[in-house]
Amino acid sequence: MTPRSALRCTVTAPARLHLGFVDLHGGLGRQFGSIGLAIDGLDAVVSATRQANTEVVGPHAARVAGIAANLIDASGLTTGLKVEVHAVPPAHAGLGSGTLLALAAGAACAGALGLARTPRELALLAGRGQRSGIGIAAFEQGGFLLDGGRGESTQAPPLLGRWAWPADWRCVLLLDERHEGLSGVSERSAFRQLSAMDEPRAGELARRVLVGLLPAVAEGNFREFSQHIGHIQAMVGDYFAPAQGGRLPVRWWASACRRWRGVLIFLASVRVHGGQPGLYSRLTLPRPRQ
């Protein structure tokens, strides 16, 4: 075994929270535009080492094996890879697990093979980032993120801006293991069936993002940020209500939001320490990643 064949590359990719869209009308030729936040504590961790034959250990083995095979073909080398998936966040829980696993696995395999590939190239290789570029941007830089959505010739939505998350702000993520969000075919079907948001509401949505939410992050104004993110998520939730059965897809979440109005809560399905549902005790409190 040569030193080159023994090269081991380990990559950690942060989870992200997708917090809403900028434009659900699309009349200007672009669709979506996303806002999101990279967070610590729910990372995907993948390592790769060259060996004679390809072997994948850990969850989502078939998906990771496909990424490894594509990169081996691109390298032109006669080799295999041992790929180990050490950690990955829950799937279909609003954390971008599919994209971050693809990026972590792709970067680890490319590193072990000595290939130079950008995160955007890796995402396209794995078919990720087609609607939102937040997961790619979170992997690249972290922070609070805004992308420009999809145009006619867009491959992956471009990053328009990144802001440092105020150091004393935290996100509370609530667990509901009984519920999974839309994904894959069902998610694509939901987007096809929904009509465009009416132009006045789409204009209000964009205005709240651009001259409400983003300045609040830049100035560290928690109260204003809370007010604007609440309005934005209510508008986006109402738009998706026909596809998900209401403004929020889980009934008790709506009750919790009414009780805790005025408190900023990001809702996602995650595991708390000990694996049991919780609201106040033993909650995972991830630190936003800068």
DSSP category for residue 97? H
Average pLDDT over residues 11-25: 92
For the cut 50, the answer to whether the pLDDT of residue 283 exceeds it is no
Residue 2, domain member (yes or no): no
Residue 234, domain member (yes or no): yes
Split into its structural domains, the chain has a count of: 1
For the cut 80, the answer to whether the pLDDT of residue 180 exceeds it is no
Residue 250, domain member (yes or no): yes
Q: Facing residues of 83 across strands?
A: 48, 56
Q: Provide the residue range defining the domain that includes 208.
A: 8-259
Residue 278, domain member (yes or no): no
Q: What integer pLDDT is reported at residue 1 of this predicted model?
A: 32
Please tell me the least confidently modeled range out of 97-106, 178-187, 230-239, 263-272: 263-272
* % residues pLDDT > 90 (the chain): 50
Which residue has better confidence, 276 or 15?
15
Residue 70, domain member (yes or no): yes
C-alpha 14: how far from chain center: 9
pLDDT digits (tens, 9 = 90+) for 74-90: 899 899 999 999 999 88
Which residue has better confidence, 242 or 185?
242
Mean pLDDT of the chain: 81
Average pLDDT over residues 211-221: 96
Structure token digits, residue 255:
């009750």
Q: Residue 149 sits in a domain of what CATH number?
A: 3.30.230.10
pLDDT digits (tens, 9 = 90+) for 236-282: 988 888 777 666 666 656 666 665 554 444 433 332 222 322 232 23
Distance separating alpha carbons of residues 236 and 231, to the nearest angstrom: 9
Average pLDDT over residues 88-107: 89
Residue 94, domain member (yes or no): yes
Residue 288, domain member (yes or no): no
Write the CA distances from 135 to 7, 254, 271, integer angstroms.
Answer: 27, 26, 20
Buried b (16+ CB within 10 A) or exposed e, 219-255: eeeeeebbbbbbbbbebbbebbeeeeeebbbbeebee
Q: What integer pLDDT is reported at residue 280 of this predicted model?
A: 29
Residue 79, domain member (yes or no): yes
Give alpha helix (H) positions in the chain: 61-75, 97-113, 119-125, 134-140, 184-193, 199-208, 214-219, 222-244, 251-259
